[in-house]
Structure 1
């Protein structure tokens, strides 16, 4: 009996446990609530979108370089001499106006050389006048001697006829012959003197030219003793002092023009080709090898910005493209000129564009036609996310022509009116439902950046 009652109690406990478990399950099922519409809506991500439209785009190329003066003067001594004058402001960094006399060497030697040459010219002029007088006198004497010779010749003929008839002696005839020959010699001598006068005149002219050359050389040397500012300049290094002796060929000082500065900017070739593509006249000069012959450099807008200080900038103009690529960086060397770099200077907030400053150069030109532009961050591995008309996410491959200023210019894959998702949804499942929100502020910012505003 005891064993039977114990077995019965175990089965009763098992049945009771099963009953309690079933009751709990039934209670949980009865109290279960289905998810509401609000919870389902919270699973649809809200994403910012922009509507793609063709935008006016300004193509940009950037480079860097070091500023330098467009024109520099290396004042070198052409003549030797002691420094007798030196402008008190001839010191490194000072700005001096055009026409300022900066330095003078001792001119005494060259003034004496001029005086000596002028004295020789005066002497040669006197010799020339004397030669002219001699020529005139010789011609008059020659005319008289020729008349006398004519008389002697006639007398000789008369004497010869008389001698042939035996009316005079031979000695009388010979005497007349000697007189005639003597007269012939006198005429010949005067004729020789006249023949030599042109040669003597040429010799005088040659000596005169030599004296003139020495005088002009002395005048040039005298002018080279004075150094006058050829333009408004800023003095650089000065290597001469008052009372020092300068030697021919010695560098005295350096100075830079303040009228303009230039930068030889190193610009990557693909960037430059993209910018000039909108202004290049490829059909106007089909045989032109020089890029400058095909590109209107004046159509390029250039800005020079002090590296590290965005607010300090100067407007420039592209004046030329240097020949060949830079051998180290393989970049194009574009020369940008800044006119009047000293104007509107307010140091230290706005310094002067001085030689040696490291600057960045921005070249830009309008695109020939509007382009489709999206933020570069909206492109994911060659594709963009779109919001379809049914508010579904669509992953669409695109072709990016190039990127510029965090903008991606789309060449293929998008059409005007497409809604591009500018957020980065995670996960991004093709076809999933999205809640697009139109970001008009970003569209306006995109337009401004495409036009180059604030760059």
Structure 2
């Protein structure tokens, strides 16, 4: 009755380790309180993949300039947090917050922390549960769009070349330099300018100069464009039925 504890933030009480009329000492844990205004999720990614998210047009940064604000500017990314559960799929829009100070010693991966704001306000009963402490999640980091890129299905790259059709509908081997691959697509640095007719099936045997009767694969084209544009990562917009419980719509 002589003690009143005021939390400095809106919270949900977890484990309580004290009883009524109990004496406590300095530094003793009394209870756990989880912030309901923000939930942080930590994700790891190899440095080779993290490099593609970094936006550093000047290509320079001194140690003194590498402040937390500088890190947020360099990692100008969106994030989507998904509950890794097949029986109740749920997504939340998140924002990049910070990177850990060191690499993981075993995986040599960089740990990045993203935050989901007001997860309890985004609850949709039976559809989107609250994002609780300890939930196993999948994090997708979305970098800034790279305009004027040549993308092709990744399976069409045969070592250092692809197969294309010339103006006479004949098969030609075209050397290419792949910038990186991701998902179902590959980004071409050199060798293709866009607009070429690409052989997407596996020609066997592939005889250069052979006459080809092409058939367009529109389904594959749509799938690769969707994958490269990130259109499948858009969050569903709330309907009138669940508008009251869903404050997070789609930004895409």
Q: Same fold (TM over 0.5)?
A: yes
8 A contact 1:297–1:319 mirrored in 2: no
1:314 to 86, 92, 108: 92
Do the aligned partners of residues 287 and 281 (structure 1) sit closer, same or farther apart at CA in structure 2, a change above 3 Å counting?
A: farther
Displacement of 1:374 after TM fit? 0.4
Report 1:43-442 matches (<5 A). 104=1, 107=2, 225-242=3-20, 244-249=21-26, 250-276=28-54, 279-282=55-58, 285-286=61-62, 288=64, 290=66, 292=68, 293=70, 296=73, 299-309=76-86, 311-442=89-220
Tell me the distance in 1 between the aligned counterparts of 2:226 and 2:117. Answer: 28
Cα displacement (A) at 1:352? 1.0
Once residues 254 and 412 of structure 1 are traced to their aligned partners in structure 2, the CA distance between those partners, rounded to angstroms, is 55
Deviation at 1:426, TM superposition (A): 1.9
* Cα distance in structure 2, aligned partners of 1:315 and 1:233: 21
Structure 2: give runs of 5+ residues left out of the alignment: 234-252
The structure whose Rg is larger is 1
d(CA) in 2 for partners of 1:337 and 1:297?
Answer: 17
Higher normalized contact order (CA 8 Å, seq sep 6+, divided by chain length): 1
CA distance in structure 1 between the partners assigned to 2:221 and 2:73 by the alignment: 33
Name the residue aligned to 1:7. Answer: none
Q: TM-score, normalised by structure 2?
A: 0.81
CA distance in 2, matches of 1:287, 1:238: 43
Deviation at 1:339, TM superposition (A): 0.5
TM-score computed with the length of structure 1 as normaliser: 0.47
Report the Cα offset of residue 254 of structure 1.
1.4
CA distance in 1: counterparts of 2:122 and 2:186, whole angstroms: 37
> Offset at 1:422?
0.8
Partner of 2:224: 446
Q: State whether residues 285 and 294 of structure 1, in contact with CA within 8 Å, keep that contact through their aligned partners in structure 2.
A: no
Q: Provide the C-alpha distance between the structure 2 equivalents of 1:294 and 1:282, rounded to a whole number of angstroms.
A: 14
Residues of 1 paired with 2:131 and 2:154: CA distance? Answer: 34
The answer to whether the 8 Å contact 1:288/1:294 transfers is no
User: Structure 1, unaligned stretches of length 5 or more?
Assistant: 1-103, 108-224
Distance across 1 between alignment mates of 2:63 and 2:11: 42
The aligned length equals 230
Alpha-carbon distance, 1:247 to partner: 2.4
CA–CA separation in structure 2 for the residues paired with 1:288 and 1:282: 16
Partner of 1:81: none
**CA RMSD of superposed structures (Å):** 2.3
What is the rounded CA distance, in whole Å, between the counterparts of 1:320 and 1:226 in structure 2?
Answer: 34
- Cα shift readout 1:390-422 (whole Å, capped 9, x = no counterpart): 111112222111101111111122222211011
Q: Which runs of 4+ in 1 moved over 6 A?
A: none
